[in-house]
Structure 1
Amino acid sequence: MVVTQSGGGTDKPSAGGLSPVDPNWKPPACWYEPLATPQQLKDATEKMNKGDLFSVNFGRRWGKDLLVDAFDKGDATFTDTPTKNYNVGKKGIFWRAVARQDRANDPEILDCSKNLFWQKAGTVPDDPNAPTPEVLAAYAYDKIRVPDTKIELKPHGKSTVNLPTWVWLDKAVFKDVTVRASLPGTNLYAVTAAKPVALHLDPGTSDAETFPASGDCPVNKDGSIGTPYTRGAAKQDPPCGIAYLRATGGEAYKLKASVTWEISWKGTGDVKGRLPNGTFESTKDIDVREIQSINR
């Protein structure tokens, strides 16, 4: 699988992957991919020494003799696609099952049970776990890396009880992110796009008021979120922000800021669709002090 990412803002480094808002959604555990040309498989087999093993499926490895029997001599005992002389000179490629790294021990990978097999050029396997644009789109989803949710605050570091803290995000950072996944040797590809649509604020305590009340700050038309604080606006309600109602007692509040990204995709054959929205969250310590008064 070949994966490339574009977009995502300025030269600030991307921070991490997205968490789907639908906890029940999971990308496919396994699928099949092109592995080697006839000549590549022949060369690899001939270079094997006694005791060497070649992976033909998850946890299933063959020695040199089995590979020679199946793909040089045409023995169909352990493969559905026996070949002679590795089909050198014929148009096609050998395919093998692959699994997501984080699901290597998932029982669902057993659905991709075929051993290494031959596939004619320009075709994909007739199998429920054959790759499709949607499978590639889900794979690309997993590879999306978005900018860190580094919010701007005013006042910085310390807030005052009952006085709003203004929150905003730089429009230059939060741009659409696209990831393209393609399978070499096929015409299959998918482009998965992530678009920032909202910032959610969780003040880290029930003794706080969020602006707006839902804590969901939408993206402005220019791509920014919230509005930067300007002098003289300290007592105004910000379009995006928090007012803490109680001072911290030595332990800072944990302000959580999570950006929601809307996910869509398109791929081979002009097919397209949507995938579950994703979120990326960061946490910031907030100290809140009481309003200081002077007795005369």
Structure 2
Amino acid sequence: MRRASLVSVATAAVLALSTQSALAYGEGDSVEGGADNQEVAAAVTHSQIKISHEGGGGTGKKGNLAPIGTNWKPPACWYEPLLTPKQLKRAVEEDKIDDVGIHESWSNGIFVDHYKEGEATENFDEANTTAPGYKNYNLGKDGYFWRSVAPDENEPKSWDCGRIMFWQDAGTIPDDEHAPTPEVLASYAYDKIRVPDTEVELNPEGKSTVNLPTWVWLDKGTFKDVKVRAELPNTGLWAETTAKPVSLNLDPGTEDAELHPASGECRINDDGSIGTPYTKGEGKETPPCGITYLRASDEPYKLNASVTWEISWEGSGGANGDLPDGTFETDQDMTVQEVQAINR
């Protein structure tokens, strides 16, 4: 039977919204391995993972990758170190913490019962496992209280992390299937990758002619590897996820068209360019990357250009692996006119 003071899920959601301010702790509350003026997010949707970016090719419009051919998602939940004994004591005394897990919030008095007075209680999991209580917030011990994190607490799988906030000695990782790993951090970083827009150079630009090829290209250096590094403080865990551009994929927006090459996949060259820029006099030649429209358009066709990115990662302890390829796409209007006298 759950504790009578357990806040309902609906109420917990409201509380999470009301505790977006951070708990700021100064030097007197820091411990070895911690940071001065550390800020601890009060809501379970706020991860302590630190993200840094590099690369990406340019400063224009960017967007998030969509995994290709899979329902892959980053992890729905995991556990992170949140508070030292001093920080937890202060948070409870100042009534600045209520979330003890993703889907469970407590009143101040229950925090005192469990973390100060040593009263055992149930975890918020299907097995109703018991969480032993603590004496005086574990003051004098070296370690952290860990709590579950869910970027989206409405994700059904976020219920899998059902342990209430628990103690872990410094320098150790919980023996739990939802403990953080380099792969978890790599997946979290994947969700933070931002890649450049895929608007391509065309000739003719924005207006093509039936049965004459439209050349498609991008200058070198437009697409570069994008690296995102994720580090989880006080764990020694890190991962760097790399997105490498490999091909441009064209969809002419109509079945009345021929693609060059026929697959519509233009491989990215070693220098980061795509295709070959159009040169005057080549108007009737077949481009290495392009489209020949076979019928005029009543309304502009939607030319879809998408870049495929291969995703790999490496992390602490020599861990490494691959994640699903991703894509980012852009639509461009293409007006196609009937054959007429032209000078290309």
TM-score by length of 1: 0.93
Residue 38 of structure 1 corresponds to: 85
Q: Which runs of 5+ in 1 are unaligned?
A: none
Distance of 1:38 and 1:150 partners within structure 2: 52
Question: Deviation at 1:35?
Answer: 1.2
Distance of 1:9 and 1:186 partners within structure 2: 32
Does residue 60 (structure 1) correspond to residue 104 (structure 2)? The answer is yes
Conserved 8 A contact 2:251-2:304: yes
Q: 1:26 aligns with which of 52, 56, 73?
A: 73
Residue 179 of structure 1 corresponds to: 228
Conserved 8 A contact 1:37-1:93: yes
Question: Deviation at 1:24?
Answer: 2.8
Residue 267 of structure 1 corresponds to: 315
* Residues 201-220 of structure 1 aligned to structure 2 (within 5 Å): 201-220=250-269
Task: Specify the code of the residue in structure 1 equivalent to 2:91.
Answer: A
* Residues 144-293 of structure 1 aligned to structure 2 (within 5 Å): 144-249=193-298, 251-292=299-340
Conserved 8 A contact 2:203-2:215: yes
CA RMSD of aligned residues (A): 1.5
Change in 2 beyond 3 A, CA 1:20/1:113: same
Q: Which has the higher contact order (CA 8 A, sep 6+)?
A: 1
Residue 86 of structure 1 corresponds to: 137
Distance of 2:196 and 2:133 partners within structure 1: 48
Distance of 1:63 and 1:3 partners within structure 2: 32
Question: Deviation at 1:4?
Answer: 1.0
State the secondary structure of the residue aligned to 1:221.
coil
Task: Specify the code of the residue in structure 1 equivalent to 2:266.
Answer: C
State the secondary structure of the residue aligned to 1:283.
strand
What whole-Å deviation, never above 9, does each CA across 1:56-79 have from its counterpart, x for those lacking one? 112311111111111111212246
Task: Specify the code of the residue in structure 2 equivalent to 1:42.
Answer: K
Distance of 1:241 and 1:224 partners within structure 2: 14
Distance of 1:39 and 1:170 partners within structure 2: 56
Conserved 8 A contact 1:189-1:268: yes
Q: Which runs of 5+ in 2 are unaligned?
A: 1-48, 124-130
* Identical positions, percent: 60
Distance of 1:155 and 1:293 partners within structure 2: 14
Task: Please identify runs of 4+ aligned residues in structure 1 that moved more than 6 A.
Answer: none
State the secondary structure of the residue aligned to 1:170.
coil
* Residues 3-14 of structure 1 aligned to structure 2 (within 5 Å): 3-13=51-61
